[in-house]
Structure 1
Amino acid sequence: MRVLFAGPPFFGLLYPMVPLAQAFRAAGHDVLVGTCGRAVGHTVAAGLPAVDCAPGIDPDALYTAMEKGRQGKPPAPGEQRTAPKGKGFSFFSEEMADTMVDVARHWRPDLVVHTPNGVVGQLVAAALGIPSVVHAVGFGHTGRHVAMMNDALADGYARHGLDGPAPVAAWLDVTPPAMSVTAEPHRRYLRYVPYNGGGALPHWLFEDRKRPRIAVTLGTVRPVVDGVSPVEWVVDAARVTDAEFVLALGGADLSALGTLPDNVRPVEWTPLGALLAGSDATIHHGGAGTTLTALDAGLPQLVLGEGADRPANAAAVQRRGCGLVPEDPAALAGPDRPGRELVRRLLEDEALATAARETAEEMAVMPSPADAVPRLVELALSQGANR
């Protein structure tokens, strides 16, 4: 069987699908990933064949310009001043649509898998008359969001003689059942298996810890848009906390943080799953992949939860009782230093740690990507027989 994975060109939206794509390949099926920008190279690095469906565009620069425009921030020297109208909202599905449909007509997949943001996959499935499967990426997306992004792709559907998308054949929910906030038709649970790319791991990750370790990250997008200012308060808290703080900020410029205390360790790109496996807690922005990787690791987390789907991810963590969410992240470095107290609670609140461990145990028994493959093959074959 042939499976096309349609991936938005951003780490946090593409990487969650990699374990399922690898599981299909391991089971002997053909896989192709359609994406664009730097995501093509990162897909290849994951050992998967990929095709650039929007050559010549830089989705990272365009999306960054759009985000800065929303926040009223001036562009950096040399940056594009404005993102073209419509770019980003459908996560470049419009830009990829024509090439991906053309590639699919020649390659002839039996099934398309896409994220809620990757609605170009739903367009391809409709154009070829094959089933599509939504691979969810977190707590923040529902069928309503998918419908909105399909609306943004209306011109693409019209160009291919389609009135709109066909209903999805299955919705793969990667959130722990006790935390799930969706009830989409044809929902199936799928264990979230962290994939964060490869990397050479430092020896200190495997040494006995003499004090607690807190991993700090802002993901791959927010440091580009906001710099490192959202974690300035963390450095302040580190000065009065007997713990090691690892700043995993993707090679961002840290000069704005000043001289770092001895218990703050900046690192270059490090696979997040491995870093969290060697940590005791985490502080992060609230991206879906980061949130789910922390849940899988069984770590208590402090989630900033600002922008995009991050508030939804933060709220889910807070409801489950396995993390803290500040009321006003901008005030964490205020005169009363509320960030220091939150870090103390993160390390000492046993209820947080217990809920985090329970959640990891729940995730561990969810159907794995390998378990899902034969079920999705059966779905594709049964719907194919009905076409």
Structure 2
Amino acid sequence: MRILFSSLTSHGHTYPLLPLARAARDAGHEVLYGTGEDFHPVLESLGLTPVSAGGSMHDAFARASTAIAGVGDAREVDPAQRNLIIGRAFGSEMPRQFAADLEPVVPTVDLVVHEAGNPGAGLAARRAGVPGVCHGFGRMTQDESLSAFITDELGAFAAEIGVEVPSGDYSIGLGNPYLDIYPPSLQHPDFVANGDRIELRPVPYAEPGELPAAVTEGSGPLVYLTLGTAFGSAPVLSKAIEGLASLDVRVLVSGGRIVEESELGELPGNVSVVSWLPQADLLPHLDLVVHHGGSGTTLGALGAGVKQLFIPQGADQFVNAEAVVGGGAAMSLQPDDVSAEAVATCARKLLGAGEVDEPVRRIAAEIAAMPAPSEVARRLPELAR
């Protein structure tokens, strides 16, 4: 079978799909992958055939900002216009480009697997009469304040190309079977009851690389601090570093190739900074992750049984923090509450034996029991009928 996977051009949207794409390849299927060229070397290294599609999210947001507010930088936009811009970017700008770029390819495949943030690939499949499957990357939400802006834009674009978008709270999946990598106990309860939901174990992916010496050298608990690949902030990292460094722990900080070590000032002796590291390989070594709440880091830590302190910055990070804290497996600080003292207090509590230990173990076991990518890959032919 010939399968096209497709995701937005970002780590958080692409990496969650790679385990299943690789499993489909291992099962003997021909696997194409449509996304921006920045990720083509990774795809080629996995034996997947890259297809150029979609461009960059940054450019899509710049176009949306220009159309809505007359400025090319979304950071300069009035907060009242922000949801309109997000709706335009995710509901129109990126779907239009993906649908156009993938139009010549989709009729040549038997199945399209599009991630939840990339309905453009799903619309291209529906327009060509090719079966589609939606691959999740995080928790489903019914945030009407934002989702309505996206679905309105998406519905208008779909109507232009003669495709009907199903109505309802979860229309972003286009009514396709949904591969859900979020543990059921933390997923939105209404969505867990959805009959088209297929569980898929989240498997963290990282580009090959060596772990820094700080992981194996020294003694004491190892704490990892990151704000991911899109929300890096030197001031926030500096506050967290100050708080963590005051504890008897080793602190490993990743700037995510966004924040340079020089921006963090003089560092204490128990703190090491790297720009990038293979996070999937790091997780089993950790005692605590202090992070932004991106879905990849959240699910990776949950699967590895690592305690978490969330300091969410934007996007779906607040939803992830709310879900995991609500499940008893983490603590969280809102942006205005992040200080060295607050981070130190929360980290100290989490590192000690406490009430989060049992939920952390329970959720790790729940994830381990979810169907592996190899199992779900064997079901793809039936989903293509």
**What is the TM-score of this pair, normalised by structure 2?**
0.85
What is residue 77 of structure 1 aligned with on the other side?
Answer: none
Question: Match of 1:102, SS?
Answer: coil
Tell me, yes or no, if the aligned pair for 1:90 and 1:117 is still in contact at 8 Å: no
What is residue 210 of structure 1 aligned with on the other side?
Answer: 219
Tell me, yes or no, if the aligned pair for 1:191 and 1:363 is still in contact at 8 Å: yes
Change (3 A) 1:96 1:344: same
Give the one of 229, 247, 260 matched to 1:220: 229
Using the alignment, how far apart are the partners of 1:312 and 1:69 within structure 2?
A: 24
The one-character-per-residue Cα deviations of 1:286-319 (angstroms, maximum 9, x if unpaired) are: 1111100110110110011232111110011101
Question: Match of 2:343, SS?
Answer: helix
Which range is displaced more, 251-260 or 2-11? 251-260
* Alignment pair present for 1:59 and 2:63: no
Matched residue type, 1:126: R
Give the one of 95, 98, 123 matched to 1:96: 98
What is residue 276 of structure 1 aligned with on the other side?
Answer: 283
Shift of 1:204: 4.7
Shift of 1:42: 3.6
Give the one of 350, 358, 362 matched to 1:358: 362
Question: Match of 2:273, SS?
Answer: strand
Change (3 A) 1:85 1:318: closer
Change (3 A) 1:67 1:301: farther
Shift of 1:29: 0.6
Matches within 5 A, 1:164-203: 164=165, 167-181=174-188, 182-183=191-192, 184-203=194-213
Please provide the CA RMSD for this pair: 2.7
What is residue 233 of structure 1 aligned with on the other side?
Answer: 239
Question: Match of 1:246, SS?
Answer: strand
Using the alignment, how far apart are the partners of 2:326 and 2:153 within structure 1?
A: 32
Tell me, yes or no, if the aligned pair for 2:91 and 2:152 is still in contact at 8 Å: no
Q: Which runs of 5+ in 1 are unaligned?
A: 73-82, 382-387
Using the alignment, how far apart are the partners of 2:183 and 2:57 within structure 1?
A: 31
Using the alignment, how far apart are the partners of 1:256 and 1:203 within structure 2?
A: 22
Using the alignment, how far apart are the partners of 2:133 and 2:148 within structure 1?
A: 14
The one-character-per-residue Cα deviations of 1:206-251 (angstroms, maximum 9, x if unpaired) are: x37610000111111001xxx3222222121133200011001223
Q: Which runs of 5+ in 2 are unaligned?
A: 63-71, 80-84, 167-172
Change (3 A) 1:115 1:33: same
Matches within 5 A, 1:221-370: 221-223=230-232, 227-251=233-257, 252-326=259-333, 328-333=334-339, 337-370=341-374
What is residue 79 of structure 1 aligned with on the other side?
Answer: none
Shift of 1:195: 0.9
Tell me, yes or no, if the aligned pair for 2:226 and 2:290 is still in contact at 8 Å: yes
* Alignment pair present for 1:157 and 2:158: yes
Question: Match of 1:301, SS?
Answer: strand
Change (3 A) 1:285 1:85: closer
Shift of 1:70: 4.5
Matched residue type, 2:211: L
Question: Match of 2:238, SS?
Answer: helix
Matched residue type, 2:280: G
Give the one of 86, 89, 94 matched to 2:88: 86
Matches within 5 A, 1:13-52: 13-52=13-52
Using the alignment, how far apart are the partners of 2:384 and 2:76 within structure 1?
A: 42
**What is the TM-score of this pair, normalised by structure 1?**
0.84
Using the alignment, how far apart are the partners of 1:129 and 1:259 within structure 2?
A: 59
Matched residue type, 2:57: P
